Every structure is written in structure tokens, then in C-alpha cells.
Amino acid sequence: MDTYDAIIIGAGHNGLACAAHLARKGWSVCVLERNSAIGGAVRTEEFTLPGYHHDFGAMNLSLFAGSAFHKLYADELKSHDFALAPASDCFASVFPDGRWFGVSTDIEKTVARLAALSPRDADTWRRLVAEFPGEAALIFAVLGSPMTLRALAGLGWKAWRSAGVGGSLKLVRLLLSSPRAWLDAHFESDAVKATLAAWGMHLDFAPDIAGGAVFPYLESMAGQAFGLVIGQGGADTMIRAMEGMLRADGGVIRTDAPVEEIIRANGRATGVRLAGGEVLEARRAVVATVAPRALGAGLLPGGSGDGAFDRAARGFRHAPGTMMIHLALDGLPDWSAGAELQRFAYVHLAPSLDMMARTYQQAVAGALPDEPVLVVGQPTAIDPSRAPDGKHVLWVQVRMLPAEIRSDAAGRIVPEAWDAVKEAYADRALSIIERYAPGLSAKVLGRAVFSPLDLERENPNLVGGDQICGSHHLSQNFLFRPAPGFAGWNTPVANLHLAGAATWPGAGVGAASGFMLAQQLGGR
């Protein structure tokens, strides 16, 4: 029987970050991955045609570039060929009347676009940008801290010392506000509001859901202040670098190794049993980077021993689903609003707050939205190496979608299982892009469509196509993620820990939960 200090279930970026740090601290570590390739939702493959490299899920690596893990291990990651491609034109939205608004790192460009929509909003933007360093320090302190009462008390004290009562209350209000409430309080242009609110839809925050304001705020201000980065050659540059770092420190990675059961003795996790019957022993920790439902679906036969935790794991709520459409193109979209849009990493097609709210409600009700929110990624505008010379790839995220289809809000697609309707629905999404970029269909050389069901097949953590591995609404965030009393990556089973997007601080390619847990286990 092979024995390790720690066994990590899942070779996504959080699992790899946890394993890499523990190995650096001298632990013997084995990472077990059910698939034949590591990376989880951070993968880059030739889904359409040879030579066209598509990011399966995550494309934006800005969170990882600014993460505590990267700050500590930047030199080691670089030595294993980790490389980034920066974008100075970060994100934009286009509107049916031909207007558009986008955020670029050149503040004068951003402000000029704002002034054309609303001089008052241009002034507000300058003020928010000036205030951002102080606000960001407090917000990132919360997001980068363990979610324990002791840690929160310390953060509250620091916030009061640095920002006073007024500043502390302002932060709390931001963290509790809905996107619409915050945007209405700061901007008057509907186009500006819609552009920023689209970031809430990257998670599961429709405009009127409390707790969602912080994401439009952070993404817009961070884009202005720091820009945006994607992986040179593909998002998997970070996965390959972490793999190299882990192996250099003696860590083991096994693919095609699905875990069937977490083994316990005397209330403690002592190892795992693989699907083929092989048993591996863990002396100090088992770390599962899985959706909480997986614990009750077989990994812990008979449950954890804590009824409240088991009920929370079974009832863990997932966000609406996503469809991914990958296109190999003969050229970038010809945006009718202006050729300048071809330079942006992301172009959002989400023209109003009311449309976003309607789309979200349709998906929650089980209907195929008549007009889904589209996130159009143009990675080859930033990194031409992802496609043959003169060619391009398009990364299209279709949000929000039902996991199970009950109806079609447009009344045109017969509600069936996703396998039967995914191509027809992809046609609907691409026809929306065509309205804003006529001639796109003639440029398509190859296409690959992943429905919400396909995403879950590829990665069981993406339940129902939920790319963020669990709703981030207030009742399932902060101290309640993934369950009350278990926000510190702990479980009722001693030596068994949870990490990944289902745990604090949630979704995003920042390696935060895996790294903070590793620091907790192995030291800083």
C-alpha cells in the first residue's frame, strides 16, 4: 500500500496549488485525477481544428496573476514556463442602437467613452478610480482571509483603524448590495450600468440579487487599474507550471484514477480507495476538491457523522448552467459598432439590466432563455499564438441556462434533453452575435459546443453546467460556504478537508482556497 502525508482528490488549480505548497513544505503528496488530463475547468485543447487552441472553461487569469500563491511562487512558476499575455482593452458591451462602452487601462480612453454617454458618469468614474486603492485593500483582505470568526474580528479591527466607522460601513453596504442598487446609486447611463452589471452574470448575480454588487465593482476597477491577462498559448500554462513545480518537489500526480471512497478509522480520514480497488494511505490529510454533494453521493458511505453538515452537502445549491461554444475563425468578428471592439478581450452582449434579470429568471424556471447573456472572448486578439497565422478562435460563454429543460421562452425549440437541442440553441446564441457582427457565420471554420450536461460530464464539479461550483448568494457565501460552521475548509471528519470553488472564497481562477488550506496545514 502506497502511503503519503496528503492525498489530494482532484487536479484542478486549487488541488494543484494545495499540493504544490505542501510538497514545498516537505510533505509527500499524491494528487488523484479521475480524467486523463489535469486542470479541471482550466484546460486548453484543440476542440475544433488542429492548430486552434481553445480554453475549455476559464480564460481570464487575472485573479491568479494577482494571487498570494503567484506572489510567493512567481519565480518557480516562471521557471516552468508560466507566461501571461496582457490585455489593455479589457471588456466592452455593445448595444442594439449601435452604441458601445468599454474599459481600457488608459483612463483617458475610458473616460472619453463615458463622457459621450454621461459627463456625470465620467466624473464618477474618476472618483471611484481614485478611491479604489483604499477600497481594494479592504475587499482583498476579506477575500484573502480564512473565513473564521477570529479572522473576521481581526479584519473588522483593521478596517475600523484604517477606514473608520464610515468606511467600514461603506464596505459592508457594498458587500450586501445588489448590482442594480449599487449601479443606480453611482451611474445614470443605462449603457454603463449594463456594461458593469454583466460581470455579476459571470457568477450567479442577476441585477436584483443581494450580495452581487462587489463583482461589477471589482472587475471594473481592477480592469481600469491593472488590465486583464490571459495565458500565453492557453490558460493551461498555469496548470502545466504548477504540475512542473509539484513534480520537481517530489509530488505525484495520477490521472485516470477516480476515487470511489474516502476511508475512515476512529472518526479520522486515513486514505482513499480507488475505483479499481487500490487503497492509498494518507498519514496527515485527505483534501477533496469536489462539490459537496459528492461526499453524500458515495465518497463518505453512511455520511460524515454530522447530520447538519450532511444535509447542507446534499442541499448545496448550484447556479444556473452555462454553454460553451468554441469557434475556429477565418477572422475576428466585424463588430458593426466599430473595429476598435476587435481589440477587447471580452465583449458582452447583455444590453440591459432588465434583460439580464429576465434571462436569469427564465433559466431558474427551467426555460431556455429567449435571449441569453453572451460573453464573447477574443483571446487571439491578445495572443495570436493560439491559432494559425491570420486565423482566430472565439470563446463564447452562454449564460444563464437551465440544467434540465422544461420549456423554451422563445417557443421555437421543443423541450428535450440537452443532447437533442444543444446545436439548435447554439445557433440561437450565434445568431445574436451575428446581429452585432454581421458576417460572422461566413468566417466559421470549425465549431465545438458543450452543453451544461456536457460540462458536467467533463467535470462532475460543474453540476448542471454550473461553472462556478455553487451559488454565491449570501445564504451560501462567507461563513456559510459550503455550510455553516465549515467555512474553514474543515469537515466533521478529522483530517478530511474540502477545497475548491465550492468553498470559501468561491469561484475564480485564484487558487485561494487550495493555497490558504495548504498554509493552514503545512505552514506559510
**Separation between Cα atoms, residue 104 and residue 187, nearest integer Å:** 18
The angle formed by the CA atoms of residues 409, 415 and 418, to the nearest 5 degrees, is 110
**Separation between Cα atoms, residue 512 and residue 85, nearest integer Å:** 22
Q: What is the pLDDT, as a whole number, of residue 287?
A: 98
Handedness of CA 456, 459, 461, 462 (dihedral sign): negative
pLDDT at 153 over 70: no
Neighbour-count burial for 277-305, b at 16+ CB within 10 Å, e otherwise: eeebebeebbbbbbbbbbbbeebbeebbe
Confidence of residue 161 (pLDDT cuts 50, 70, 90): low
| C-alpha cell read off for 144 | 484573502
| Strand pairing class (346-349; 89-94) | parallel
Mean pLDDT, range 102-121, rounded to an integer: 98
Cβ atoms < 10 Å from Cβ of 404: 12
Q: What is the pLDDT, as a whole number, of residue 83?
A: 98
Closest CA to 314 of 292, 299, 287, 298: 292
Give domain 2-84+234-316+468-522's CATH superfamily. Answer: FAD/NAD(P)-binding domain (3.50.50.60)
Find the range with the poorest average confidence among 44-48, 132-136, 447-451: 132-136
The angle formed by the CA atoms of residues 10, 14 and 38, to the nearest 5 degrees, is 45
**Separation between Cα atoms, residue 66 and residue 430, nearest integer Å:** 33
DSSP state, residue 296: I
Angle between helices 119-143 and 107-117 (to 10 degrees): 130
* 326 phi/psi in degrees, rounded to 5: -110, 130
**Separation between Cα atoms, residue 137 and residue 162, nearest integer Å:** 10
Residues 6+ apart with CB under 8 A from 454: 418, 422, 465
Enumerate the β-bridge partners of residue 401: 321
Confidence of residue 160 (pLDDT cuts 50, 70, 90): low
pTM: 0.95
Q: What is the pLDDT of residues 401-447, one digit of tens each?
A: 999 999 999 999 999 999 999 999 999 999 999 999 999 999 999 99
Tell me the helix, strand and coil percentages in the chain, rounded to 5.
45, 20, 35
pLDDT top residue among 422 and 161: 422
pLDDT at 323 over 70: yes
| Strand pairing class (89-94; 44-45) | unpaired
Angle between helices 512-522 and 13-24 (to 10 degrees): 30
pLDDT top residue among 86 and 135: 86
Q: Is residue 205 a contact partner of residue 472, using CB atoms and an 8 Å limit? A: yes
Q: Is residue 460 a contact partner of residue 291, using CB atoms and an 8 Å limit? A: yes
Closest CA to 401 of 314, 312, 290, 318: 318
Cis omega before residue 355 (within 30°)? no
Cβ atoms < 10 Å from Cβ of 81: 12
Q: What is the pLDDT of residues 163-178, one digit of tens each?
A: 676 767 888 898 999 9
**Separation between Cα atoms, residue 498 and residue 30, nearest integer Å:** 16
pLDDT at 296 over 80: no
Q: What is the pLDDT, as a whole number, of residue 437?
A: 98
Domain positions in the chain are 2-84+234-316+468-522, 105-226, 320-458
| C-alpha cell read off for 35 | 480524467
pLDDT at 106 over 90: yes
Percent of the chain scoring above 90 in pLDDT: 90
Residue type, 465: G
Enumerate the β-bridge partners of residue 285: 6
pLDDT at 155 over 70: no
